[in-house]
Amino acid sequence: MTRPAPHSSITVLLLSAFCWIGAAAGAAQSKPADSAPDVLVLSNGDTLHGKFINQVSGNVNFHSDPLGDISIPWDKVKELHSEQKYAVIDKTVKLHGNNEEKAKQIPNGNVEVAGGTVTVHGEGAAAPTSIPAKNAQYIVDVPTLNRQMFHEPGFLSGWSGAAGAGATLVKATQNDYNVSGTVGLVRLVPTVAWLNPRNRSSVGFTGSYGKITQPGIPTVKTAIYHADAERDQYFTPRVFALAQAAFDHNFAQNLQLQQIYGGGLGWTFLKTENQEADVKGTIQYESQRFITGPSSLDEHLVGSTFGLSYLLHAKRLTFVQNLQYIPAYNTPSAYSATETNTLTFPAYKNLGFSVGTIDTYLNNATFPTKRNSFQFTTGLTYAIKSKY
């Protein structure tokens, strides 16, 4: 068998090497060069290089590799230069109404800040748009703006809230155990605070179950459950129509199941960066079925729910309070009321610790049960954050 000449093998290797180098050079040429980093100049002269995220309600959010994510007051920014595309929302622009009309009022493009003025360089030969920095309420990237203004999150997207659980176990002369759990989720669309709400959905569940057993003594049982759902549709940034459903079981009040279905109006009378308070009123159908006693005790009621909800977000705690009064118009004695209070303290990442109270009053609870039911709850919580 004839061996190939040595120079033939060398030629093949050289040709292969040149082909590989050429392909690599072509790939390098086809790959776009990384854009220049954004530049942020502070009023004290310090300069940061990195990624401008957004400006929301007077705070500039910026990412710098050495410092991570930082938030800087708007009045501490002297200059900002970015080659990315952002939308600047002037505080004089009304954000409710037709989305297409709103979009025409929002300039977008490359953003520069200097001399107390935000300059937006749009595409094409259009003249730049200048906005006083004090009027630039929000500066956000264009994809986020389009997603929040023109799209709805999927059914499983955009939910925020918390889930919690607690338990008690005693093994002695008496065997005692009690478990409790809670889930509360809210989805506000848009899911960002810098656009006025279009709709809001909420679901909630609280439950407590326990038993005390002892030889020769009847078992003592506790079972209290509540579930609710609500859908709000906003007419204005603070006025909305609502539809709701609620379900209750309370062994302590001899209540097998209470069902409520209704609709009405609500008003957000307090709304700040850290607080929100709503008042609501509905017209509803309500049915009550009891555990023991004749079926003649069951009720079919026409009534209302008048409610007040309050939310406070502080740095080290979250406080939620809900008050409800539920009259029945066709049977005035069958009224009820509830009050819930929950304090949640963050501990580590999404984990926290909560304490709360649930006070329920049912005026037509059947004998011999008490009309009032009070719970004090403690447990661990896990914060659920929106991914939309």
Are the C-beta atoms of residues 372 and 175 closer than 8 Å to each other? no
Task: State both tokens at 24.
Answer: 């690599």
- How many Å apart are CA 62 and CA 50, to the nearest integer? 7
Q: What is the mean pLDDT of residues 235-243?
A: 95
User: 303 or 104, which is more confident?
Assistant: 303
Are the C-beta atoms of residues 16 and 8 closer than 8 Å to each other? no
Q: Which pLDDT value is given to residue 179?
A: 93
The verdict on 119 and 177 lying in the same domain is no
| Domain assignment of residue 1, yes or no | no
| pLDDT tens digits along 263-307 | 999 999 999 889 999 999 999 999 999 998 887 789 999 999 999
Interior/surface letters 336-348, b for 16+ CB within 10 angstroms, e for the rest:
bbbbbebbbeeee
**335: region left, alpha or beta (phi > 0 left; psi from -120 to 50 alpha):** beta
The verdict on 246 and 354 lying in the same domain is yes
| Domain assignment of residue 11, yes or no | no
The verdict on 177 and 280 lying in the same domain is yes
Task: State both tokens at 362.
Answer: 């049912």
The verdict on 274 and 190 lying in the same domain is yes
Q: How many CB atoms lie within 10 A of CB 302?
A: 14
Task: State both tokens at 3.
Answer: 């061996």
| Domain assignment of residue 28, yes or no | no
| Domain assignment of residue 15, yes or no | no
Domain finish residue from 104, 131, 150: 150
Q: Which pLDDT value is given to residue 173?
A: 86
Q: Which pLDDT value is given to residue 101?
A: 66
Number of domains in the chain: 2
Residues listed for the chain: 388
The verdict on 60 and 105 lying in the same domain is yes
The verdict on 132 and 196 lying in the same domain is no
| Domain assignment of residue 167, yes or no | yes
The verdict on 228 and 132 lying in the same domain is no
Q: Which pLDDT value is given to residue 383?
A: 93
Percent of the chain with pLDDT over 90: 52
For the ranges 24-33, 144-153, 159-168, 320-329, the lowest mean pLDDT is seen at: 24-33
pLDDT interval class at 124 (50, 70, 90): low
Domain finish residue from 108, 125, 150: 150
The verdict on 107 and 176 lying in the same domain is no
Are the C-beta atoms of residues 289 and 257 closer than 8 Å to each other? yes
User: 9 or 256, which is more confident?
Assistant: 256
User: 120 or 27, which is more confident?
Assistant: 120
Q: How far is CA 314 from CA 74, 138, 268, 319, 343, in A?
A: 22, 22, 19, 8, 11
| Domain assignment of residue 25, yes or no | no
- How many Å apart are CA 34 and CA 333, to the nearest integer? 72
Domain finish residue from 150, 171, 200: 150
Beta bridge partners of 164: 182, 381
Where residue 276 sits, what CATH number does that domain have?
Answer: 2.40.160.40
The verdict on 307 and 229 lying in the same domain is yes
Q: Which domain holds residue 283?
A: 160-384
| pLDDT tens digits along 55-102 | 987 889 999 888 889 999 988 999 999 888 898 988 777 665 556 666
| Domain assignment of residue 50, yes or no | yes
- How many Å apart are CA 196 and CA 44, to the nearest integer? 35
pLDDT interval class at 168 (50, 70, 90): confident
| Domain assignment of residue 71, yes or no | yes
The verdict on 327 and 218 lying in the same domain is yes
Model pTM score = 0.78
Strands 299-303 and 306-313: unpaired
Q: Which pLDDT value is given to residue 300?
A: 95
The verdict on 167 and 146 lying in the same domain is no
How many Cα atoms within 13 Å fall on the side-chain side of residue 256? 12
The verdict on 217 and 88 lying in the same domain is no
Q: What average pLDDT does the chain have?
A: 86
